[in-house]
Structure 1
């Protein structure tokens, strides 16, 4: 799969997401997983930064140290944990490698294997087929969805956290490094929901105040019956429009669901909100996709 077909482009535009099998070879997936194992082996986390990741974000950012750790992670490689993996002293109660929720948010910049996938000709060809003129990479994450404890991701739109003017300039590229099935927490979407705008934004609060981020507006209530599952085999990719509503369930199975994902923004004629939690830095401006 090197170039999207016209039919696939139309389906993405209609539904707000697109599932494509066979994007990476199984060997490529295994290499990315092996490199993450090496990264985990050398992770060194300050005690106050052993935060437990929550897709609701409010719980995650209650502590000053936790909030700093998150909001300054855009140009770094940092570690975020599932709920219930530490005791009251901050010590792991399960193996370290089974405790992680995700690693983010600059794997695409500092890790050659992930950088190569992010800037691969396949990704560039997809972006060109979708009409992107000057796409840049915003962030990247390795998501674990641990067996038995991989937390639910509640219904949301990526544009809540990555806001642009005009809307519709951000796309997620979600690569399954293991099978992502109904049993272990595949993605679910409301097709066409990317056409309804957004009602909630996560914004930085004024400098010197705490918490460091807050929410403006509220998430809509969604009918569970509208969600459609999007299972994908190892090596497949899901393209995610920034405004499409999606979620994933708690992973109750004994199989993990490892994913490498990153976000692309069309930068031409686009205003990146200075209120977004994620900001380019002098050390890491948003790198252009096309090389």
Structure 2
């Protein structure tokens, strides 16, 4: 399948220099309304008796079946939406997502993970500094994060923050599953908050994140929610899914395209 890249040379220079890229107006109001409406429908059937919380701050070393088996079902922290739900699949597997990944030189990409992130007013919590390749590791590393703002993301309601150029320093630690459970293989480095820049974006903007970019978000201290839809892609042409990844897939995902 021939897929045309949709990023400009200027986009690519900025992404490779900074490790992130903001693409404004990537989605229109109709697409946003469809995804948020679909999530409202899913919430109506939400069974709160079995929930799991994903946190980059507190990672248990004990097993949590609901969390660790979420890769193949829609779970409430809302995973695998890109595979099962038609509304989210339509966006995740769209030509514009394929074109963006083609611009980044992906040859046979798969969407390996997706999450709907609520960040509710006053209670939306902090996501500490991390790198996406820590959690979704291939050999060699190939993860790219695609973070879609479904509502305006501001400093007040917990927008993304990133350290420009930090992707050039490589991956510092991994989140693995082994005989000792699920844990990081290295302690967390210390980061200076002054090195981060705020990525305030309007609803419909897409933030593209290099897998080694150090990024985070703070608590939502505003009266406004900050909903977002996050998708992660990895390469399968010349890259292999690491056997000790915490996330285990029961079946090989279908590639978006094969160039």
Within the candidate set 103, 112, 123, 2:86 is matched to 112
Aligned to 1:287: 254
Alignment deviations for residues 84-136 of structure 1 (CA, whole Å, 9 cap, x no partner): xxxxxxxxxxxxxxxxxxx11x1011111110101111111111111111111
Aligned to 1:88: none
Pairing 1:20–2:17 present: no
Q: CA deviation at 1:54?
A: 2.3
SS in 2 for 1:28: helix
Q: CA deviation at 1:7?
A: 0.6
Alignment deviations for residues 249-281 of structure 1 (CA, whole Å, 9 cap, x no partner): 100101111111110111111121111111221
Aligned to 2:155: 182
Q: Distance in 1 between matches of 2:178 and 2:239?
A: 22
Q: Give the TM-score taking structure 1 as reference length.
A: 0.83
Change (3 A) 1:63 1:128: closer
Runs ≥4 residues deviating over 4 A: none
Two-structure CA RMSD over aligned residues (Å): 1.6
Pairing 1:70–2:67 present: yes
Q: Is the 8 A contact 2:61 2:183 kept in 1?
A: no
Aligned to 1:197: 170
For structure 2, the 5+ residue unaligned runs are none
Higher relative contact order (CA 8 A, sep 6+): 2
SS in 1 for 2:152: coil
Q: Distance in 2 between matches of 1:117 and 1:247?
A: 24
The aligned length equals 254
For structure 1, the 5+ residue unaligned runs are 81-102
Change (3 A) 1:268 1:63: closer
Q: Is the 8 A contact 2:145 2:233 kept in 1?
A: yes
Q: CA deviation at 1:62?
A: 6.1
Aligned to 1:54: 55
Q: CA deviation at 1:52?
A: 3.7
Q: CA deviation at 1:57?
A: 3.9
SS in 1 for 2:25: coil
SS in 2 for 1:122: helix
- Counterparts of 1:63-102 in structure 2, within 5 Å, are 64=63, 67-80=64-77
Pairing 1:162–2:173 present: no
Q: Is the 8 A contact 1:119 1:290 kept in 2?
A: no
Q: CA deviation at 1:14?
A: 0.9
Q: Distance in 2 between matches of 1:116 and 1:79?
A: 20
Aligned to 1:92: none
Q: Give the TM-score taking structure 2 as reference length.
A: 0.93
